[in-house]
Copies of this chain bind each other. A is one copy, B any other.
Amino acid sequence: MRTPEELSELFRQRGRKVTPQRQCIFRVLEGNVTHPSAEVVYEAARAEMPTISLKTVYQTLNDLAELGEIQALDLGTGMARFDPNVDGAHHHLVCHECGKVRDLYADLDGLTIGQSDAQGYDVRSAEVVFRGRCEDCRTAEGAGAGASAGSGRRASFRAATTATE
């Protein structure tokens, strides 16, 4: 994603207006490596601009995705995650417990498949998602607080645990 200034210029060129709400969202996303959900972007934006609406956040995120400035990711956490990092090809580590997402820049050149394996598909992208528990969730397990003994919520990939970053 470009800088907020460049994005403002880009928006003007495309006939879109540069509103303080959009600029606020640009700033929230700038250098953001947390792959935030729309809700998280909304909360961060509200800290600066309490009257901003969730609808505007969704609208602007979609605008940015259309322009190719961010990428909407479906990592199986139940909500779209938005990635301002669209320049470097990379993959993702996803914590299946808290949903935290980290970039992974490991060299996975073995990812190219031959035409025989493609089974007629015109393959355009290969996404790798590594799943596991993040360090925070692992250490938090050792620290007792056993109230979360797994009775109810089973392994549904839709687990929507709103954890604290």
> Which one of B112, B128, B131 contacts A162 once the chains associate, using CB atoms below 8 Å?
B112
Cβ proximity bits A108-121 to B, threshold 8 Å, 1 near / 0 not: 11111111011111
Find the residue from A66, A131, A156, A159 having the highest chain B CB count within 10 A. A156
Are A109 and B106 within 8 A (Cβ)? Answer: no
Contact with B along A29-56 (1 / 0, CB 8 A): 0000000000000000000000000000
- Chain B residue nearest to A117 (CB atoms) is B106
Is there a chain B Cβ closer than 8 Å to A72's Cβ?
yes
Query: Is the pair A102, B119 in contact by a Cβ cutoff of 8 Å?
Result: yes
Majority secondary structure, A binding face: loop
Query: Is residue A65 contacting chain B, with contact meaning CB distance below 8 A?
Result: yes
Check B108 against A110 for contact (C-beta < 8 Å): yes
Report yes or no: A123 in contact with B156, Cβ–Cβ below 8 A: no
Q: A10-18, A19-27, A133-141, A142-150: which one contacts chain B?
A: A133-141
